[in-house]
Chains A and B, each alone.
Chain A
């Protein structure tokens, strides 16, 4: 059976669908959406940090800044993710 996103939902000849295969598709969709979100926000933040007065092109320092900014953004993402996870566990322990 062909899904709305052009993917195979794992239907057999009997027409029954496999939840495991459906979930694989769902997880991929979520991962793609998350990557898009990450890139959009990273681009926004790094543009603000690295590009002052916009010139005729991206100069060398701006390009280097963008590369560093991307790495730092992902480091920050990991730090924030860990901090949030810890806090959630602490709150659950206190309940």
Chain B
């Protein structure tokens, strides 16, 4: 009873307020468990249940665990009372993940509610069902979402869109296509509210599937102003990403125009703008910080890591971006800009910033100015958002200061601003100050200096220094002010120690130092003034700074050298009472002064320095001791008295040598790192990462310009296989260019230039063949599982990845994998093998194999008078007729006399051969009707000098792929008949396809079209000579690690040198047993020259390296005879 009387006034007032709080839920909150909750939940009355649930909620809010009531609460899900339902849902959502089994009981009720007539009930049911996060019900939820996505009520559809990310979060390992399909449906909804929600779903479910946007881009733009504000923020971002990926950077935009400007970049600061406010033309005309913009542009697109790697070493001109460009007149760009510009007037500052971001990146520079007023307006919204907006404005202002220079008033600090906001405003002010505005800004700064917040004052002083550096015209005025501050502060701090004053003083001297540094000669008086006041400056850091300045500029002007001796005397007097920092600087300064001194002074200086060193050697602080020893060691010559010097003139030579580094170290220009890492961290405007200045997880830079291909747009969701085709098709192209990289090895091996030539033309032919699309870089290794056909989905995702997102990283990894694989590092490769399942395999379509077309002899120099004629089959395809095979003929004069009138003609017997090839079928007879002669294009070689070698390209129609063509070589009037044997491998031309297409074709050519032959293959004999060719120095142990790669290289180069086909892929099994080659499979594809029918070659390897391997060559071809012959040929050259 009595304790009430001792109650304080506070609790009395609480009691009185309790009276007023009757009827509220306060009692429930204050004493949630004053009644037992269990029975209440079992009550028949809804109101009691509601009461119980409210109590539970209160307990929950206070952080206690009330999950023991879960079973009882779940029972109430079926209740008809909406309030009860809502409360139950709130409870359920909090605990469902913890109590999975009991939560399952509620599912039935949700299912029932989903078909309720009241849309609110349906929506709630869906929201809760998706929110309870049970893996077991994920399929049910997906079905529910699918159903609700077509619900008549927009609210339910909206909730369905919101439910998608929840489900995705729970279950996203699953195939993504169903999600994408749902997002697509919802994005196409006619209700703006749903579209906004769908945009949010898009962002979290499939942010890279920008092709979904393609078809409805214009509609989305039009609907944008009607979408609710939160959806607008997300949708704007998506549309921007889409535009970049689809069309690239706008040519007139700030991102492009400044980053690629050819004018000399202005390093620090910009020439001031004339001051006629509001004149757009002047603004645009002024130069801006080009480096900054280049950096910004890069960071937006490349992301931070790469950006650092590139700019870290140099920011020279070579780092220009190769951006795909579009013009500002592009319809889509215009549309987006038009639809986002009213959003600059939005109520919601996040929307304004998002819309401004789009304009900043996409709009032509003349129009960017329109975003500035709205951005400044949202500064007025609330303190918290003020900070975020200023962070973004700072980046903008750094990039293009003139845009902001007339709005300096908005960045004036007011007393309501927090310290962080003030600091940002100061930084912006010092960046945007111009010649016309600087007087007002400095006036303002003078006020700030008297602010009670001394931390802010220190920042102001720093800002004054920055302004003075940027605008030299005010430098002397600033210096005057700074000096005044310095003297004032030093007088203050001498009288009493007040927090923060030291900081101001140090900052003031630092600013002075920075200004002096720009033009030391004209500020010698300032230095003297500082030096004279040294006695009054008590703060060690400030003293150290002043002493440094004296040392640095000790020989400048007329006055300083006169003052220096007395200063040094003063310091010598005070040395023992100085702080360590100051002592270090005194030592440095004394040494520097001595180095620069001439004549009579130097003796005095030497004495002083030795005195300092003697004192410092026994200092209590080890840094000071070290410094003394250091200086002593570096300057022995300077420290010697002149008499000693005379005695040891030879040593003085040595001393010179020491003198130099000593001088260099002490006089070395301090490279103050002006560009701190902080300022170079730029992220997308409006992003969280920009505020915290590191890439938050989930941060994505803008997509690569034009990374969204036209083909993808048509592909759409349904036939996603197309996407995978595109990417893997491109990888075939890469395999084609192998030849390119192997030039050197070929020419060095053979010493044969003409072969080199043929390869050149060959590779260009390949490039032409594959110019279907331009893809800059491709994956070299495709890691997939063993069943290629089954694993389509896996490949699809990869295809999407490389096609839509920035491909670089994705490529980097496989490339590295290949390198490590080829670099023969057993450790790395074994790691990779362990990562793969034992059944896994790596599919490589870029084997680093050498291709050496075989030379055949046509005419031996011994049989005639010294003319050697050789031929090789070319990889080129005849442009005249598909029946013709291109053959390169090499004429070489081996005799000592020139050979004249060399020609190549048909043998007379060609007619008789023709009669024999009647059996060859109609294709041949067709050709005869076309009346193409067997040999085309043979001009006579007038003369061939001794040793000269001439290459001729002839096109030959072979009568049969096995039978030789009779030719006659005439030279010097004589005629030699010879035979040109056809090579069946060159009746093919390469046909590029990817693995899955290969398997498809293979399936279409079964049974009688499939021929195979097994051959024993002695690994080691061929192996050795191959290795000798490639790497004669490599030791044996290294070879062991990647025998399988070598083997596939050997096989591939053999096939490619003997057949005109293209390598589809090499499937390399990844097993723990290094010795085991079983399962290696190389696939080649080509088509018949005569009738363009596909012809597939696969080589399967079985067995172990230690034993003879068994190669199974398999050919799938419709032309039976041809196929069988080819099989024999392949088997022959493989052996």
Partners in one complex: no
